[in-house]
Amino acid sequence: MTLTRSARRALNKMPNVVVAKMKASIVSPTLRPGIDYSVLYEVPVRAAIVAQFQEQEGLTVDSHPGSATYAALWQLNKPTEEQFVLSMLAAAENTGTIYQLGRGGFGWFEQELSDASDCSGFIAHCLGLSRKPNPAFPRWFSTDSIWADARGEDGLFRVVEPDTPNSIVVYPDYRARGKQRQGHVGFVVKDSYGYDCSSSMYRRHGDAIKHRDLSFFRKKAKTVWCRPVWWE
């Protein structure tokens, strides 16, 4: 198969950990002659792995790891509750995260959060999910879409009781005093305390991600608590 220039660029950008995850997800691998499948950073190896994975998942076989390919891989490797929490704690330890609306959570299976993020980007990162619309989550990953999904629109999250341990807490955009206000999302660990990525923490501490009391979410009428459906 002749690789397009865009396919080569996409293959070069794939982190080794993602290539390894894709290789491990192939149920019946077919080893092609002349390819050392242990050398994951070489483009021919990556192309062969992506093509086999695409064929297995019923996708267009072009060796180009696009959103459909990544979404299929994510469906097979959704993070467990423990993996989510570990990603969250690792991001929280990366002191100095800048709050910037619309940033963070663009990569699949990111090992590190970007230097700037907003609240939804932080949660997308912990899920290993790209916040761009894709087959796994067809809308821009935001407070509005998380909230709508939890209320039954797409089926990624389900509503749980308030302050359920290890739950996502979210309210959507809203209007107040004639102005449009941003929604917010965080993660409750226990007894209303948890982590979020906020502009207020960035202004006060120079670090947007902090462990703090999230009981202020209760003041918003549309707040819901939810958990990924596969954690149950």
Q: Contact, 75 vs 58, CB < 8 A? A: no
Taking Cα atoms as reference points, which of 110, 71, 102 lies closest to residue 197? Answer: 102
Residue 73 confidence (pLDDT)? 98
Torsion of the alpha carbons at 150, 162, 165 and 124, rounded to the nearest 10: 30
Can you give the pLDDT at residue 110?
94
Residue 114: both structure tokens together: 């970007």
Check residue 196 and give its pLDDT.
98
- pLDDT mean for each 10 residues of the chain (232 residues): 91 93 89 70 91 96 97 97 96 90 96 95 98 96 97 88 97 90 96 97 95 96 96 89
Residue 1 pLDDT: 67
pLDDT for residue 30: 76
What are the boundaries of each domain within the chain?
5-76, 81-231
- How many Å apart are CA 69 and CA 9, to the nearest integer? 15
pLDDT of residue 28: 82
- CATH code that applies to domain 81-231: 3.90.1720
Length of the chain: 232
Identify the pLDDT of residue 99.
97
